[in-house]
């Protein structure tokens, strides 16, 4: 998949054409550029139906529609502008949802982008796009995968290490909790990052989180649903910058494996690779690469699964 990369000037022109309100554009000239973020997806839908799905997603999000082009469909509201690129590549439909918001609306950008990208993936209004303002969700942490549920300011959940469980209360983006696991119990606290994608925290074998001195960090899973999926943490990397890949909903074989290779290379091509060790979801960090076009490929159950590519996602190094 080759994604569009816009220069700052070119992107600004696209946003103005796409429908960012004139008053908002004027305000940005006086203050700063809009906040931008992209959500790349490989979706299981015929390319000629992708723009219809994009339109349905835009309407479900309450946006006013812009006219379609051959490969894009966009919309806008008072604070945000959206452009969805939908293209068929090698028998798959590639979608890039690009959202721009006026400065000061970063939370709206995240919620809107996740909602639209998820709608494009599943073809209907999601039961709930990722809420990055809460601890609710799946996390990859120092003590294994953690699943948290937040209702109001109350949080409960489990984590992999020694059958761990925790319960706690959130105040001003800080979760103060009690944990229990085989052979131990204690307390701790997590501080949610401003973008909602990670937390920094501590744990303590005692009752007072203020005394905690053992680090406990986590990174949020950005994938929802049951479809086997890959996701890179960026669309475009600098040369030799580490590439972080999230995988989700693999079968769980010990020798399911991921590799990074150049685009348009044969399925038998192997580059850097990791076995998943039986994990169905997780994060892997690959070493940085030279300038070029690449893709992550997932394979099942080596050697029985051979070199049959199960899912792939492309990215660039520039």
Give the percent of the chain with pLDDT over 70.
86
Distance CA 247, CA 288 (A): 18
Please tell me the predicted confidence (pLDDT) of residue 115: 86
- Count the Cβ atoms, other than its own, within 10 Å of residue 187: 21
What superfamily would CATH give domain 229-317?
A: Macroglobulin (MG2) domain (2.60.40.1930)
The confidence band for 12, taking pLDDT boundaries of 50, 70 and 90, is very low
Which residues, at least 6 apart from 217, have a Cβ–Cβ distance to it below 8 Å?
141, 142, 198, 199, 200, 201
Mean pLDDT of the chain: 84
Distance CA 242, CA 253 (A): 26
Using DSSP's 3-state secondary structure scheme, residue 36 falls into strand
Distance CA 161, CA 314 (A): 33
Please tell me the predicted confidence (pLDDT) of residue 8: 28
Which residues, at least 6 apart from 136, have a Cβ–Cβ distance to it below 8 Å?
148, 149, 150, 155
For the segment 179-205, what is each residue's pLDDT rounded down to a tens digit? 999 988 999 999 998 778 899 999 988
* Range 8-122 has CATH code 3.40.50.300: no
The confidence band for 111, taking pLDDT boundaries of 50, 70 and 90, is confident
**Structure-model confidence comparison of residues 227 and 106, the more confident one:** 227
Question: How is the chain split into domains, by residue range?
Answer: 8-122, 137-220, 229-317
- Count the Cβ atoms, other than its own, within 10 Å of residue 120: 23
pLDDT (mean) for 2-7: 31
């Amino acid at each position: 998949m080759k994604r569009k990369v816009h220069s700052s000037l070119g992107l600004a022109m696209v946003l103005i054409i796409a429908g960012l309100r004139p008053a908002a554009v004027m305000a940005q000239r006086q203050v700063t550029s809009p906040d931008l973020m992209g959500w790349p997806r490989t979706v299981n839908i015929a390319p000629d139906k992708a723009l219809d799905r994009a339109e349905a997603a835009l309407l479900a999000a309450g946006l006013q529609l812009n006219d379609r082009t051959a490969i894009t469909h966009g919309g806008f509201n008072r604070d945000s502008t959206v452009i969805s690129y939908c293209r068929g590549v090698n028998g798959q439909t590639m979608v890039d949802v690009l959202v721009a918001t006026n400065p000061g609306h970063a939370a709206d950008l995240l919620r809107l982008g996740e909602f639209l990208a998820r709608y494009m993936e599943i073809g209907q209004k999601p039961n709930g796009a990722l809420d990055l303002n809460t601890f609710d969700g799946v996390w990859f942490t120092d003590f294994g995968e953690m699943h948290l549920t937040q209702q109001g300011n109350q949080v409960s959940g489990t984590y992999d290490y020694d059958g761990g469980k925790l319960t706690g209360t959130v105040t001003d983006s800080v979760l103060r909790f009690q944990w229990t696991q085989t052979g131990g119990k204690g307390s701790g606290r997590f501080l949610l990052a401003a973008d909602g994608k990670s937390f920094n925290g501590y744990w303590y074998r005692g009752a007072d989180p203020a005394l905690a001195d053992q680090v406990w960090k986590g990174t949020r899973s950005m994938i929802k649903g049951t479809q086997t999926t890959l996701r890179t943490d960026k669309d475009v990397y600098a040369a030799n910058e580490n590439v972080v890949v999230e995988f989700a909903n693999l079968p769980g074989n010990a020798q399911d494996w991921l590799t990074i290779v150049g685009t348009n290379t044969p399925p038998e091509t192997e580059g850097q690779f990791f076995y998943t060790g039986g994990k169905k979801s997780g994060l892997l960090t690959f070493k940085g690469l030279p300038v070029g076009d690449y893709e992550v490929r997932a394979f099942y159950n080596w050697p029985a699964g051979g070199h049959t590519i199960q899912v792939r996602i492309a990215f660039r190094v520039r």
